[in-house]
Structure 1
Amino acid sequence: MHDFTGKTAVVTGYASGIGAATAAALTARGATVIGVDRIVPDSAPPVARTIVGDLSTSDGVRSIADAVDGPVDVLINNAGVAATQPWRTVLSVNTLAPRDLTRLLLPKFGADAAVVTTASQAGFQWQRNFTRADAFLAIDDWDAALDSVAGLPDIDRLCYALSKEAAIVYSGALAVEGKQIGLRSNTVSPGTVGTPLLPDFTATMGAAVIDGAAAWTGRHAAPEEIADAIVFLASPESAWISGVDLPVDGGYGAFVFRTLVAPALSAAQ
């Protein structure tokens, strides 16, 4: 695996779960890791520097960006919340925060920087819902953006999928826009992962969905397995990969497509 010695990496949501595994993996490979989180427990992995901040507000994101010293070589937009939180919080933390943090850090990026955003297999319909997600992302003001989707039916339930669809759409746009400055942007879409958020996903998505995925794959993923994919996409070993959403789900997404989506497509033809 690539040596990140001399490189600076910012990892949001670094104190637990996938973020902790990613911060630890980058640190072990020599990176100077700046860990960002709302609360930093004693169990958080050791990093070079910690920024305690709030990614649920526009002002909070700006404060975090202001506290980051450049140059930044790697940005891991990993912080996220489940739909057990209010829908405005879900879309703020999962979509608007990574969008704005990335924008604010652009002037601080070093040459050949990489951005990796943790999306989700819940966002697998991003192409079908591209227009809605793209329109949401086009609104700079957070309140106005959130108001634009307030009337969607069942927004409390759909907010998580929408947040991850939009995260994937934004990453693709960033890959196109960043080409001229050598910036790469990709997303990783995990399936079910054994993190502290798993009970929240079970509560919002249902035990049948979460347990069913684990039953088919044989288990939930370990955070380190998702971190390995994130670190790979952050490294020069993936220098020709940009604008990609990488499923890391043990093949469960392919199973869902073959058994549910493909038959529906065939029936519609």
Structure 2
Amino acid sequence: MPNRLVNKVAIVTGGGSGIGLESALLFADEGAKVVVADLNLDAANRAVALIAQKTPNAQAIAVKTDVGNEAQVKALVDTAVKTYGRLDIMFNNAGIMHPEDDNAITTEERVWDLTMQVNVKGVWFGCKYAVQAMRANPTPVGGSIINTASFVGLMGAATPQIAYTASKGAVLAMTRELAMIHAREGIRCNSICPGPLKTPLLMNFLDTAEKRDRRLVHLPMGRFGEAIEIAQAACFLASNESSYITGTDFKVDGGLTSCYVTPLGEPALEPPSSLVPKQ
């Protein structure tokens, strides 16, 4: 259904690349006014330029934001409301996976603290100021908050990334509680749990064929997901099509978290051609 987000105002954090970029493009294409937030302002500006190229009549602005800085997140939400008059969608997508993140013994405290600052506090700050903005909306009051968690928040792994895993578990718990607190205000809050994706964040972490193959063997579909596949899930949660959905952990993981033994002897599925980024 086209134009699912007409008359809605959306913030997408981490909007300069990966899931955030694909979501910003899709939200704009579906009619939303989009605020692209990213620590890398050049990347955010490129995203806005891509939006203008893909959807010429779309409205979008770029805002440099460190989501781990409360004052900057407040300023981001204030900018969205000042520019477009309201806030309907808050996609708290920005996050990090530190290359030195390992197990509980070897991971340094600075890695843990930085991961929590961005992945947990960043989501908390985004929710905190989004709720206040959504409460102040003229009719209709309310909105949709979407938080990027991960399948690792739902299951353990023997390839340790302890700070990242703990941070995503915190996002899941926070999302569920916020959903209950604000349900009767018309503010829905859901998390998305992506499986392993073909994005720079994960591919830089899985920097050898051995590491990538170890992940792929556990994927029932036999392939990494595409960022656009997560963006489509976010668009659904942002739209009125999901009006009776709140507090859910939306798994978009190729079946990974439902898997015990993966299929053998079958070729891996390729993503639909329409979803493969054009080179």
With the shorter chain as reference, the TM-score category is: 0.7 to 0.9
RMSD: 2.4
Question: Aligned to 2:96, which of 59, 69, 81?
Answer: 81
Gaps of 5+ in 2: 52-58, 101-110, 263-279
Question: Aligned to 1:120, which of 119, 131, 150?
Answer: 150
Deviation at 1:196, TM superposition (A): 1.1
- Equivalent in the alignment of 1:193: 197
Tell me the SS of whatever aligns to 1:3: coil
Q: Once the two structures are superposed, what CA deviation does each residue of 1:185-206 show, in whole Å capped at 9, x if it has no partner? A: 1111011111111223325994
- Equivalent in the alignment of 2:131: 106
- Equivalent in the alignment of 1:173: 177
Listed as ranges, the matches of 1:2-151 within 5 Å are 3-39=4-40, 40-41=42-43, 43-44=46-47, 45-46=50-51, 48-69=60-81, 70-84=85-99, 86-109=111-134, 110=137, 111-125=141-155
Deviation at 1:49, TM superposition (A): 1.0
- Asked if the contact 2:190/2:249 (under 8 Å) is kept, the reply is yes
Q: Match for 2:68: what amino acid?
A: S
Q: Once the two structures are superposed, what CA deviation does each residue of 1:209-245 show, in whole Å capped at 9, x if it has no partner? A: 433345x422111111111111101111111111000
- Equivalent in the alignment of 2:235: 231
Q: Distance in 2 between matches of 1:188 and 1:226?
A: 8
Q: Distance in 1 between matches of 2:113 and 2:166?
A: 11
Q: Distance in 1 between matches of 2:204 and 2:113?
A: 17
Where do 4+ consecutive residues of structure 1 move more than 2 Å? 40-47, 56-68, 203-214
Q: Once the two structures are superposed, what CA deviation does each residue of 1:66-93 show, in whole Å capped at 9, x if it has no partner? A: 4331410111111111132622121111
Confirm or deny that 1:218 pairs with 2:237. Answer: no
Q: 1:217 to 1:188 in 2, by over 3 A?
A: same
Deviation at 1:165, TM superposition (A): 0.5
Comparing both chains, which one has the higher relative contact order based on Cα–Cα distances under 8 Å and sequence gaps of 6 or more?
1
- Asked if the contact 2:77/2:133 (under 8 Å) is kept, the reply is no
Q: Once the two structures are superposed, what CA deviation does each residue of 1:35-79 show, in whole Å capped at 9, x if it has no partner? A: 100113364243611111112333433333343314101111111
Question: What TM-score do the two structures reach when normalised by structure 2?
Answer: 0.75
Gaps of 5+ in 1: 127-155, 261-269
- Asked if the contact 1:10/1:75 (under 8 Å) is kept, the reply is yes
- Asked if the contact 1:191/1:252 (under 8 Å) is kept, the reply is yes
Bigger shift: residues 93-102 or 59-68 = 59-68
Q: 1:209 to 1:93 in 2, by over 3 A?
A: farther
Q: Once the two structures are superposed, what CA deviation does each residue of 1:10-59 show, in whole Å capped at 9, x if it has no partner? A: 11011111111111111001100011001133642436111111123334
Deviation at 1:176, TM superposition (A): 0.5
Question: Aligned to 2:161, which of 157, 163, 169?
Answer: 157
Q: Distance in 2 between matches of 1:167 and 1:206?
A: 26
Tell me the SS of whatever aligns to 1:221: coil
Tell me the SS of whatever aligns to 1:67: helix
Tell me the SS of whatever aligns to 2:94: coil
Q: Distance in 2 between matches of 1:221 and 1:120?
A: 13
- Asked if the contact 1:72/1:113 (under 8 Å) is kept, the reply is yes
- Asked if the contact 1:201/1:210 (under 8 Å) is kept, the reply is no
Give the number of the structure whose residues are more often helix, by fraction: 1
Q: 1:195 to 1:43 in 2, by over 3 A?
A: farther
Q: Once the two structures are superposed, what CA deviation does each residue of 1:92-119 show, in whole Å capped at 9, x if it has no partner? A: 1111111112112222113230011111
- Asked if the contact 2:4/2:240 (under 8 Å) is kept, the reply is no
Percent same amino acid among aligned pairs? 30
- Asked if the contact 1:32/1:48 (under 8 Å) is kept, the reply is yes
- Equivalent in the alignment of 1:240: 244
Q: How many residues align?
A: 228
Q: Distance in 2 between matches of 1:197 and 1:209?
A: 17
